[in-house]
Structure 1
Amino acid sequence: MSFRLNPFKVMRAVGIVAIVVYGVVLVTGYKKSKVTTTESVTKDMKIRNKDFYKSKDYKNNLTLPNQVVENNNEAVAKELEQTKPAETVDLQKDSDTSKQQTDSKVADKNKKKEEQVKLEMQKQAQQKLAEQKQQEKSKIAAKQAELKKQQQLEAARKEQAAAQARAEAARQQAREEENKKAREEAAKRARENAKKHQGSKKYIQVASVTTEASARGIAKKLGGNFYYKKTTVNGKTAYVVMSNMTDNPNTLKAMENQAKRAGSGYMIRSVGK
């Protein structure tokens, strides 16, 4: 908490102090002038002490003849006549001089105090400005720290969300792999069960030709259940047109009917695997 001076209060206090000092100076000057005047007067006067009757001079004067007393009185009178009069002191002039000197001193003091007040106010203004700059720097630093903290929190949240996404993807992949493995296991068991319950597979051999074009045309005419393959018979290349293998009698019967509807001249026979 900074202390601020009130210029008006300071000037009022300075004025009061100046008046008090001025009064003290006047009183002191008056006393000094009074003492100086009194000293100058007492130097030219012979003042008897309170116990003058006990002094030797007094006792001697009592026994001196009248002529001696008169001579002493004349000597004293001559001394008084020869003595210069005491210098007069102009109290008003001394008072005015003292007043001027006091006013000058008070003015100097007031000027110095005003300068001190100005310097103090400048120092306070500079200090206040420095405090404001420091507060602004502190605010900026606090904002930067808060922004950095928010960025760190945001980065942490993103990292956590990414980690959760990766974990979820890993779990999903694991579940998919487990499901795939389960499906493969189920399919494998189904194939094994089908193999256990099914009989031998059979197929229909429709023809055996020497050119691939002929074999392709026959397979195309018979439909999707028939195809041809290249083979060697007695060292010669041959193309055999045949049906898909099946263990289902109904499917085998349908393929035989399909071969018969395609036209005559084909050799149809069932061959066990």
Structure 2
Amino acid sequence: MSRAPIIQAYKALLESQKLTPNKAQAALAERLGLLQTTLVTSEKDEELKGVYIYGSVGTGKSRIADLFSNTIPREVSHRRVHFHEFLMDIHTRLHRLRSQSGYQGDPLFGIGTELVKRESRVLCFDEFQVSDIADAMILKRLFAGIWQAGGVMVATSNRHPENLYERGLNRPLFVPFIKELQQRCDVWHMEGQLDYRLRTSGKEDERDTVFFAEQDAFEASLQESTKGEPLIPTIIKVMMGRELAVHACVVPAG
């Protein structure tokens, strides 16, 4: 078994019984461990194959992807983000560039290149999906810059790449990106029957997003997580000057 950081962390979770043995998760951890090792020994602009992980909900694919991003060696720049949040960030950058005086041409390739060179070589995406034509039309040019600069993608999704943006407007224009993605990433099918999102014991449940089948379980976990602190509504500022109303939250002290 590999001695990559993710493998050591995975074994520790098994030994402490915070995870139960699962062949599919172990195999994925091994593949991501190989990627971790290669990232450390490769040149920063060297082209490496990423991993696109797809499968039904609750198979534990996001848990292993989290473990990968949390154990990437410090010398490898990386970013873990929900794919929708990443796209909003890209649209914000694009809007900012187009608002500048003297703007000319298509900056998407440059945004992708600078993203890798200045910020994160490894991009870890949760819930990779495309449903909006505005997103679909920018991905090929954006990722051309990312991949040429040596960027590596590790993504989780509920869909096989060939099913992305299915029945979307002008989908034939999106298909070249799908083909490129399949060349740049190992497409990894994550199988599993137990829905780990419904495991509500303290040992299994360490993510910051939790799904519950019953309202009582949700209320109990909420009380435990907030330590009895009062919940209040608030407003969060998001991209492009917009605001998001939050029904209830705990305001950190200070």
Q: Per the shorter chain, which TM-score range?
A: under 0.3
Larger RCO, structures 1/2 (Cα 8 Å, 6+ apart): 2
TM-score (norm 2): 0.15
- Tell me which protein shows more strand as a share of its residues: 2
TM-score normalized by structure 1? 0.14
